[in-house]
């Protein structure tokens, strides 16, 4: 099912977007509508053509050429899980705010051999909420936890940057951390010290890559570890180039 997505004004002036042809830019916007709420779409040229350009005289080869443009500009990332190919829109968490997310496709790094889409399931963490549930194409939308610490408490909020970083951690690590004050305060403290959103995302990406498949280290993919003042400084210092995946802004 197609979804409503947001196109920000800065999209039109982004140098990264401008590297692509006008039709590739249109395809890029179109793929958002048919991606799941992790920005993931099956890597099928024929399917994408019928979704975005159903009545246009555009060949499969033309669609593939546009996809190649988007990948070269680092706007799409290709990966494979259990023998199936997927595309993921880079920078998704920063540009799309999903209210009631559903996850139809496996994320990068999901266990090989899964017959149905599944989020990578790290070892249980007493400080985390239950991992987000993925659904099949015909499944009803899952119920989403209210962002509250406990029954009767007020929903917590935080700065857009803190929420975006926490959302990035959830997506990359396959977690479902709620925006509780303790987590947001840790992230906010790092930003106040001069860290950028890009640096925070880069630390998350680096540690997910390093720890996601290690049963001993998986439990440390959590805000209190990643954004601890001392530990974060060390993680950031390990980055050769402390930037997130190249992102249009």
What does the pLDDT look like over 234-246, one tens digit per residue?
Answer: 898 888 544 444 5
For residues 210 and 166, the answer to whether their CB atoms sit within 8 Å is: no
First CA to last CA distance, the chain: 27
Q: Is 240 helix (H, G, I), strand (E, B) or coil?
A: coil
Q: Residues 6 or more apart from 245 whose CB is under 8 A from it?
A: 74, 77, 90, 91, 201, 205
Residue, of 157 and 84, whose pLDDT is higher:
84
pLDDT tops 90 at residue 26? yes
pLDDT tops 90 at residue 33? no
Q: What is the pLDDT, as a whole number, of residue 86?
A: 92
Predicted TM-score of the model (pTM) = 0.45
For residues 160 and 144, the answer to whether their CB atoms sit within 8 Å is: no
* 158 token code pair: 């935080």
* 105 token code pair: 């496709």
Count of Cβ atoms closer than 10 Å to residue 194 Cβ: 7
Q: How far apart are CA 49 and CA 67, in angstroms?
A: 11
Query: Any idea which of 85-89, 142-146, 164-168 has the lowest mean pLDDT?
Result: 142-146
Q: How far apart are CA 218 and CA 216, in angstroms?
A: 6
Q: Residues 6 or more apart from 122 whose CB is under 8 A from it?
A: 131, 173, 174, 175, 212, 218, 219, 221
pLDDT tens digits, one per residue of 155-175:
344 578 888 898 889 888 888
């Amino acid at each position: 099912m197609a979804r409503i997505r947001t196109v920000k004004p800065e999209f039109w002036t982004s140098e990264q977007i401008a590297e692509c042809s006008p039709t590739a830019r249109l395809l890029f916007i179109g793929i958002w509508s048919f991606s799941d709420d992790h920005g993931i779409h099956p890597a099928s040229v024929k399917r994408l053509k019928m979704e975005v350009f159903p009545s246009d005289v555009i060949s499969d080869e033309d669609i593939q050429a546009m996809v190649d443009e988007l990948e070269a500009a680092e706007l799409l990332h290709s990966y494979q899980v259990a023998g199936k190919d997927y595309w993921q829109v880079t920078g998704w968490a920063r540009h799309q705010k999903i209210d009631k997310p559903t996850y139809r496709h496996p994320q990068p790094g999901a266990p090989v051999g899964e017959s149905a889409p599944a989020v990578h399931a790290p070892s249980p963490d007493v400080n985390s909420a239950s991992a987000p549930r993925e659904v099949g194409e015909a499944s009803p939308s899952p119920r989403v936890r209210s962002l509250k610490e406990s029954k009767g408490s007020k929903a917590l909020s935080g700065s857009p940057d803190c929420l975006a970083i926490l959302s990035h951690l959830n997506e990359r690590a396959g977690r479902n951390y709620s925006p509780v004050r303790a987590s947001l305060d840790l992230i906010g403290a790092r930003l106040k010290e001069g860290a950028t959103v890009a640096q925070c995302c880069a630390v998350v990406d680096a540690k997910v890559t390093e720890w996601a498949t290690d049963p001993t280290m998986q439990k440390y993919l959590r805000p209190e570890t990643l954004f601890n003042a001392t530990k974060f400084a060390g993680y950031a210092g390990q980055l050769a180039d402390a930037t997130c995946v190249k992102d249009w802004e």
